[in-house]
Amino acid sequence: MLYQFGEFELDTGRVELRSNGVVVAVEPQVFALIRLLVANRDRVVTKDEIVEKVWNGRIVSDSAISSRVKSARQAIGDDGRAQTCIRTVHGVGFSFVAEVATFPTISFAEPRSSAGVAPIRGSQPSIAVIPFDLVGSTPPEFPIADALPHDLITDLSRLHWLVVIARGSSFRFRGAEVNLDEVRNKLSVQYCLTGTVEISGKVMSVSVELSETEDKRVVWCDRYRSDIGAVHEIRDQIVKAVTSAVEVRIPSNEAQRALLKSPENLDAWSTYHLGVHHMYRFNKSDNEVATGFFKRAIAMEPGFARAYAGLSFTHFQSAFLRYDDNPDAKTLAQHYASQCVERDPLDPFGHFTMGRAQWLRGDLEASVPWLERASALNPNYAQAKYSTGWAEALLGSAKTSQTNIAAALVLSPLDPLVYGMLGVRALSYLALEDAAQAAEWAERAANSPGSHALIEMIAAAAHGLNGDKTRAKAWAASVHARASHLNRTDFLRAFPFRDEPTKIRISGMLEKLGL
């Protein structure tokens, strides 16, 4: 079982206490004490029970118990005065009072199938990051082949939907030819991240490969080159790029795998990813299908936080694009986002959907803290940076918006919401009264996969303000064909510019184009 409280995770399967994904060293008795208190957080655990469970019934002094409690508090950032996690109930024992979320974990001791490959229990994706293979002559004080995977383990651990094997286990696998069957059998993971660092003179090349351990298929790979003198800069860039790629590629791959399963064999996680698969198609019928899958995932696993965020996303989409006149869509978007955050306060997707739900209420200012929190929980979360840039563009901070959009595009150039990133860049240029740049970015946005009618309205307005009547009329005609129910009032409701002159310019142009 995985217990999550604050920045800490207590993983009973791996016997690990982690802080923000980094293993905290604790003595076995201290770990056993924390596990006992967390597992029985609904009641007071007596001193006699602690002695029975932690010391196996041996006679120990009160000072020994107090010492272990003190060490347990120190390990999880608590103390005897604050008692924010472990509270002393005088004369009785101790209780664990911090809010705890629980998740199933994948066991390391898996039975072998007849083919000799360990089946993976549980549906939550898991990954092992193996030390990279170092090619070339380098001094011992240049540990890049270990440093990169270590940094990746730390960053990937921020993705709470992904089980990341700790360094102590995954770093036991080394060598140019990693046996994926062995990694799967011993670590029970579906995915493995491997790499090669090649040094040639003053040039360093890093190749990274994400593979499925079951069928050995390469899901994604990339290569990076830099001057060896810029090793620290390129290391940071590689970690961000790889983390962002994993965040997009594994869910996409999980959705494709779910499509191959028969309906009766779908578990909650597979059902959720089928919902995501339809959610990103951005049309009414697929949005309804996605909503159904998310509801089904919740029925299977009521504590599945991300499925609630998925429901928030689909209700947001319904309200934002006016798929119907359901007056409850706005309320439901916020309700389900709140349900996700309540079940998993550390899931950035929940904070992302909560931030976007504020847009529907017209409260851009209230959305920013939620979106910033999503980025804080996962600094490589491209969609959070994009959404923050969206709010900033409408609030009048066009330059800051462009910085966030540029970061989002670097982090996730193949993101399902890339059309939105490009569209917001266009909006920021409209706010800056640079119609030429706005038209260029809006054209790219409207031609991107997933682009919807509101994005085409940005293109129509931008080209019109740039004096290109032909392109402006063409995009206006496309809007009429795709979504005849949308007009400039809907556009300004979706993009509520705080700057009145900008609003008047765009609204006037859309009116001229018959929108």
- The CATH number given to whatever domain includes residue 445 is 1.25.40.10
Hey, is 443 helix, strand or coil? Answer: helix
Question: What is the full DSSP assignment across 185-247?
Answer: HHH--SEEEEEEEEEETTEEEEEEEEEETTT--EEEEEEEEEEGGGHHHHHHHHHHHHHHHHH
Does residue 32 sit in helix, strand or coil? helix
Distance from C-alpha of 370 to C-alpha of 388, rounded to nearest angstrom: 9
3-state secondary structure (DSSP) of residue 508: helix
How many other CB atoms are found less than 10 A from the CB of residue 42? 8
pLDDT at 263: 67
Would 253 be classed as within a structural domain?
no
Both 390 and 515 in a single domain? yes
Q: What is the CATH number of the domain that holds 172?
A: 3.40.50.10070
| Nearest residue to 244 via CA among 23, 407, 421 | 407
169 and 58 in a common domain: no
Q: What is the 3-state secondary structure (H, E, C) of 327-388?
A: CCHHHHHHHHHHHHHHHCCCCHHHHHHHHHHHHHCCCHHHHHHHHHHHHHHCCCCHHHHHHH
Task: For strands 218-227 and 203-212, give the pairing.
Answer: antiparallel
Count of CB atoms situated within 10 Å of the CB of 433 = 12
Query: What does 461-484 look like in DSSP terms, one character per residue?
Result: HHHHHTT-HHHHHHHHHHHHHH-T
- In a domain, residue 357? The reply is yes
Report the alpha-carbon distance of residue 283 to residue 271 in Å, rounded.
19
From residue 507, give the alpha-carbon distance in Å to each of 6, 304, 339, 394, 515: 46, 42, 37, 14, 9
Quote the CA–CA distance of 160 and 140 in Å, as a whole number: 34
Sheet (strand 101-103) strand order? 22-24, 16-19, 8-11, 2-5, 101-103
Distance, CA of 161 to CA of 150 (rounded, Å): 19
| Residue 108 covered by a domain | no
- Judge residue 327's burial from the number of C-beta atoms within 10 Å of its C-beta, 0-12 exposed, 13-18 middle, 19 or more buried: exposed
Other residues' Cβ atoms within 10 Å of the Cβ of residue 133: 17
Domain with residue 54: its CATH number is: 1.10.10.10
Residues 137 and 217 in one domain: yes
CA nearest neighbour of 224 among 213, 215, 233: 233
pLDDT value for 112? 38
Any domain includes 308? yes
**Cα–Cα dist 97/44, whole Å:** 10
Backbone torsion region of residue 21, taken as left when φ is above 0, otherwise alpha when ψ lies between -120 and 50, otherwise beta:
left
Answer with the one of 247, 278, 294 that is the final residue of a domain.
Answer: 247
Q: Where are the beta strands (DSSP E) in 68-139?
A: 86-89, 93-96, 101-103, 126-129, 133-135
Strands (E), 100-165: 101-103, 126-129, 133-135, 163-164
Please say whether the beta carbons of 461 and 426 come within 8 A. no
| Among 327, 345, 379, residue at a domain's last position | 379
Same domain, 130 and 227: yes
| Per-residue pLDDT at 118 | 41
Q: What is the mean pLDDT of each run of 10 residues along the chain (515 residues)?
A: 83 79 81 92 91 84 88 90 90 90 50 39 75 72 78 84 81 75 86 88 88 89 85 82 87 78 73 88 90 92 91 94 84 94 89 92 90 87 90 92 90 85 94 94 93 94 95 94 90 91 94 93
Domain count, the chain: 4
What is the predicted pLDDT for the residue at 511? 94
User: Cα separation of 290 and 310, whole Å?
Assistant: 8
Residues 427 and 494 in one domain: yes
87 and 136 co-located in one domain: no
Instruction: Round to whole Å and give the CA distance between 276 and 258.
Output: 11
Report pTM.
Answer: 0.64
Indicate whether 441 and 367 sit together in one domain. no
Tokens of 119: 């089946």
Neighbours of 469 (CB within 10 A): 12
- Asked which of 247, 273, 307 is the last residue of a domain, the reply is 247
Q: Is residue 119 part of a domain?
A: no
CB 348 within 8 A of CB 374: yes
DSSP 120: P
Residues 389 and 513 in one domain: yes
Residues 93 and 140 in one domain: no
Residues in the chain: 515
In a domain, 121, yes or no: no
Residues 213, 186: one domain?
yes
* 419 token code pair: 């059309």
pLDDT at 334: 94
* C-alpha count within 13 angstroms, C-beta hemisphere, residue 450: 18
What are the DSSP calls for 414-427, one per residue?
A: T-TTHHHHHHHHHH
Residues 239 and 306 in one domain: no
Residue 25's domain comprises 2-103
- Both 475 and 400 in one domain: the answer is yes
For the record, the structure tokens of 29 come out as 């008795």
Judge whether 25 lies within some domain: yes
> Is residue 205 one of the residues assigned to a domain?
yes
State the pLDDT at residue 176.
56
Separation of alpha carbons 53 and 342, rounded Å: 31
